[in-house]
Chain A
């Protein structure tokens, strides 16, 4: 069925090409010619004769089965166990900017738990005027806010520090999703408890067995952090922290504590496991950066790329990808097809939104020759996404985290693609 479906669209394209053939070179229109009538057009197909499913066939739908390969994938050798592990968003097959929840990457430290709304409690304690406990129903009674934000794991692209390793934008850049959240500004909840003057940090932890906890400066907590209970219009998925998670715009995903159960106002950072032994960035001299919270500007061409090569031969080609910055809005994305010798400014599908994903397109005419495709994002601070080698010059190769270097895909003459590094 997949094949027939693909055939349909290809032939529809050929037909459109024929209609416009007056403007095309004779050789091109000859190559696109159709020798015999297309039975998909001339013969009545089953779907045009018989009825389809009724409205009650699927009370809550999944993508049609033709798309069953557009799924999160795991890299088994990365971690010891899938319970404390990560998988990857199939960004190579998505378009637009909103990540469907069903294929948005997951990162768990003790697995995705089931926590029912009636069992949910959020405690705020520590250096506050009133230590309070909220139920889920309480949360829904606070004034709400809404925002679209990307959530990127600090380790996204981390496997590429020492060189090209994984073949596919899903694996090199898929530890990211971008959703529309609804929830409560954290500053509203903090006003409810009354932060004491000596409260300079918050410590946030989840209800799962890892009780994954992180320290966040009070300035960020009072700025744009949210306690979210809806994503993309519906309740958070279990794997994304149902019924409530923290949203920390622009900052590394590990801070976005899921199944949020406690916020402690503290005088200093707790220096928990996740902010000392992990999520710290070791430099070449052995000294490590800590508190590297913000995600710098980054982009990647999602297609064509190793999992989605070019199947249509020379001619019109959509080069597309995603760009994002934790420090503001994306203002520009440049694309190169010759490994960075020359760049063309791509078209942004929508103006950049601070700390959210931006989709870009370069409408290219492919000559069928090899390409070295790259993208380079700029954000509103004037920051320009660096090359991987420029990052390595400063940090070495042992940082693990925060690799936002420019990605290169080698597109071969047959249209297949490979992850490479270039001079």
Chain B
């Protein structure tokens, strides 16, 4: 008796602690009831936080002290970046170009680069610092990253060749497309239009095929061997 009373009390507690519970006899919520600290984990040491807390925000939060200029940046760029992005930041093969593309955003196939698209310089600094060079990340010093960032600004025609970027003048730099973004507006511009009862019968008079994927013929394996790249339509059975 006392055992089952305890079980019943536990069920009620669990149900009371969870927002979605419908009845006290059905503790089947996906979410556990605990919302208070349970005392797991240990304090992060300042050195540990400093080692990982590297992200930089648009207002400069997270930028370390340091500086670097265009000239030094070009040398570091040629050593660490040019193999993929090209000697002149033009991009090689499918690796992205880092400059150019101004005025292409409203055209077919816009060219999105730091100069034409990126809204915040902090993103450049942060990404180069934490994620580049590709395959050998986090080898660049803060001064290296200031210098590379200065060189990328120069490559985009945004500063002169004597420009030196530092934590002190960092937030003075505005990228050209800073105002080119709006917050997701689908709730206003799309959801009302796409939330009407759909047509079920005689919805259009005629249907014509206007485009074939086979014209482009870019599907992998469309002429491959059966084992590795099954031809389209050949993999049934």
Interface residues of A (CB under 8 A from B): 2-3, 5-6, 68-69, 73-77, 79-81, 83-84, 92-93, 109-110, 123-126, 130-134, 138, 141-147, 162-168, 171, 185, 187-188, 191-194, 203, 205, 209-213, 261-262, 264, 266, 268-273, 276-277, 280, 282, 284-294, 296, 306-309, 311, 334, 338-343, 372, 376, 378, 381-386, 390, 394, 397-398, 410, 415-423
Which residue of chain A is the closest to B133 with respect to CB atoms? A209
Give the docked Cα–Cα distance between A398 and B109 (Å).
Answer: 7
With a cutoff of 8 Å between Cβ atoms, the chain A residues found around residue B34 in the complex are: 142-143, 188, 191
With a cutoff of 8 Å between Cβ atoms, the chain B residues found around residue A291 in the complex are: 183-184
- Give the secondary structure class of B's interface: loop
The minimal Cβ–Cβ distance linking A338 to chain B, given in whole angstroms, is: 7
28 residue pairs of the A-B complex, CB under 8 angstroms, read A5-B237, A69-B230, A73-B221, A74-B220, A75-B220, A80-B84, A81-B94, A110-B131, A126-B53, A143-B33, A145-B31, A187-B35, A210-B137, A286-B106, A289-B185, A306-B219, A306-B233, A308-B236, A309-B233, A343-B199, A372-B209, A376-B198, A381-B191, A410-B212, A418-B212, A418-B213, A420-B210, A423-B210
Give the docked Cα–Cα distance between A84 and B181 (Å).
Answer: 26
Given contacts A270-B57, A423-B207, contact A191 B35 (CB under 8 A): yes
With a cutoff of 8 Å between Cβ atoms, the chain A residues found around residue B42 in the complex are: 132-133
Which chain B residues numbered 107 to 148 have a C-beta less than 8 Å away from chain A? Answer: 108-110, 112, 114, 117-120, 122-123, 126-127, 130-131, 134-135, 137-138
Q: Could you list 11 further interchain pairs (A-B, Cβ under 8 angstroms) beyond the known A287-B181, A288-B180, A410-B212?
A: A79-B94, A131-B49, A165-B213, A209-B138, A271-B122, A273-B127, A286-B105, A288-B181, A307-B230, A378-B198, A421-B209
Give the docked Cα–Cα distance between A394 and B191 (Å).
Answer: 12
Contact indicator B196/A192 (Cβ below 8 Å): no
Of A213, A277, A385, A417, which is in contact with the most chain B CB atoms at under 10 Å from its CB?
A277
| Top-9 shortest CB links A-B | A143-B32, A286-B106, A80-B94, A339-B207, A286-B105, A419-B213, A132-B41, A6-B237, A309-B233
Contacting residue for A288 out of B182, B195, B198, CB 8 A: B182
Contact indicator A416/B37 (Cβ below 8 Å): no
With a cutoff of 8 Å between Cβ atoms, the chain B residues found around residue A286 in the complex are: 105-106, 110, 180
Which residue of chain A is the closest to B208 with respect to CB atoms? A423
The minimal Cβ–Cβ distance linking B26 to chain A, given in whole angstroms, is: 16
Contact indicator A397/B127 (Cβ below 8 Å): no
Contact indicator B37/A191 (Cβ below 8 Å): yes
Give the docked Cα–Cα distance between A236 and B197 (Å).
Answer: 41
Given contacts A287-B182, A290-B183, contact A307 B233 (CB under 8 A): yes
With a cutoff of 8 Å between Cβ atoms, the chain A residues found around residue B53 in the complex are: 125-126, 262, 264
Contact indicator B44/A133 (Cβ below 8 Å): yes
Which residue of chain B is the closest to A396 with respect to CB atoms? B106
With a cutoff of 8 Å between Cβ atoms, the chain A residues found around residue B54 in the complex are: 211
With a cutoff of 8 Å between Cβ atoms, the chain A residues found around residue B189 in the complex are: 394
Residue B1 at the chain A interface, CB threshold 8 Å = no
With a cutoff of 8 Å between Cβ atoms, the chain B residues found around residue A280 in the complex are: 181
Given contacts A143-B34, A188-B32, A289-B185, contact A422 B208 (CB under 8 A): yes
Give the docked Cα–Cα distance between A168 and B185 (Å).
Answer: 31
With a cutoff of 8 Å between Cβ atoms, the chain B residues found around residue A110 in the complex are: 131, 134-135, 137
Which chain B residues numbered 91 to 109 have a C-beta less than 8 Å away from chain A? Answer: 93-95, 105-106, 108-109
Contacting residue for B220 out of A3, A73, A126, A284, CB 8 A: A73
The minimal Cβ–Cβ distance linking B148 to chain A, given in whole angstroms, is: 14
Which chain B residues numbered 5 to 28 have a C-beta less than 8 Å away from chain A? Answer: none
With a cutoff of 8 Å between Cβ atoms, the chain B residues found around residue A311 in the complex are: 236-237
Which residue of chain B is the closest to A386 with respect to CB atoms? B194
Give the docked Cα–Cα distance between A2 and B222 (Å).
Answer: 21
Contact indicator B233/A422 (Cβ below 8 Å): no
Give the docked Cα–Cα distance between A141 and B39 (Å).
Answer: 10
Which residue of chain A is the closest to B49 with respect to CB atoms? A125
Which residue of chain A is the closest to B104 with respect to CB atoms? A286
The minimal Cβ–Cβ distance linking B200 to chain A, given in whole angstroms, is: 5
With a cutoff of 8 Å between Cβ atoms, the chain A residues found around residue B201 in the complex are: 342-343
Which residue of chain A is the closest to B56 with respect to CB atoms? A270
With a cutoff of 8 Å between Cβ atoms, the chain B residues found around residue A390 in the complex are: 193-194
Which residue of chain B is the closest to A421 with respect to CB atoms? B211
Contact indicator A383/B52 (Cβ below 8 Å): no
With a cutoff of 8 Å between Cβ atoms, the chain B residues found around residue A384 in the complex are: 194-198
Contacting residue for B207 out of A340, A343, A415, CB 8 A: A340
Contact indicator B48/A123 (Cβ below 8 Å): yes
Residue B2 at the chain A interface, CB threshold 8 Å = no
Which chain B residues numbered 51 to 80 have a C-beta less than 8 Å away from chain A? Answer: 52-59
The minimal Cβ–Cβ distance linking A225 to chain B, given in whole angstroms, is: 11
Contact indicator A308/B41 (Cβ below 8 Å): no
Contact indicator A194/B219 (Cβ below 8 Å): no
Contact indicator A69/B235 (Cβ below 8 Å): yes
Give the docked Cα–Cα distance between A188 and B30 (Å).
Answer: 13
Residue B3 at the chain A interface, CB threshold 8 Å = no
With a cutoff of 8 Å between Cβ atoms, the chain B residues found around residue A134 in the complex are: 40-41
Given contacts A270-B57, A273-B126, A287-B180, contact A343 B49 (CB under 8 A): no
Which residue of chain A is the closest to B230 with respect to CB atoms? A69
